[in-house]
Amino acid sequence: MQDPLLSQALNLHPWNLDQVLDDLNEFGFALIDDVYSNDYVRTLAHECTSHLAEFRAAGVQNGVVSHIRSDHILWINGQLPLAQQHIQTLEHLSQALNQAFYLGIKEVEAHFACYNAGEFYALHRDNPQQKNDRMISTVFYLHEHWQDDWGGQLRLQDKNGQWHIIQPLANRLAIFQSDLLHEVLLSKQQRLSITAWLRSGHSIWHG
Nearest distance from residue 184's CB to ligand OGA, in Å? 5
Q: Smallest distance from the beta carbon of 152 to ligand OGA, in angstroms? A: 8
Contact 134, 99 (CB under 8 A): no
Please say which residue, 10 or 103, places its beta carbon nearer to Mn ion: 103
Residues 87-126 close enough to bind ligand OGA by CB under 6 A:
113, 121, 126
Angle subtended at Cα 103 by Cα 100 and Cα 108, rounded to the nearest 5 degrees? 110
Q: How far apart are CA 181 and CA 183, in angstroms?
A: 7
Distance of alpha carbon 113 from its chain centroid, rounded?
Answer: 9
Query: Which residue of the chain is nearest Mn ion when measured via CB?
Result: 126
Asked if 16 and 2 touch (Cβ cutoff 8 Å), the reply is yes
Mark out the alpha helices in 29-183 (DSSP H runs).
38-49, 81-101
Of the candidates 20, 140, 193, 198, which one interacts with ligand OGA according to CB under 6 A?
Answer: 193
85 or 195, CB closer to Mn ion? Answer: 195
Judged by CB under 6 A, does residue 36 bind ligand OGA?
Answer: no
Q: How far does CA 35 lie from the centroid of its chain? A: 13
Closer CB to Mn ion, 126 or 133, in the complex: 126
CA distances to 24, 40, 130, 178 from 43, rounded to whole Å, are 29, 5, 36, 28
Q: Does 142 bind ligand OGA (CB under 6 A)?
A: no
Q: What CA–CA distance (Å, rounded) separates 24 from 123?
A: 21
**Total residues binding Mn ion (CB under 5 A):** 1
In whole angstroms, the minimum distance from the beta carbon of 81 to ligand OGA comes to: 22
In whole angstroms, the minimum distance from the beta carbon of 4 to ligand OGA comes to 29
Could you tell me the end-to-end alpha-carbon distance of the chain, in angstroms, rounded to an integer?
41
Task: Give the one residue of 3, 71, 126, 158 binding Mn ion; rule: CB under 5 A.
Answer: 126
State the residues that interact with Mn ion by CB under 5 A.
Answer: 126
State the residues that interact with ligand OGA by CB under 6 A.
Answer: 113, 121, 126, 139, 154, 168, 182, 184, 193, 195
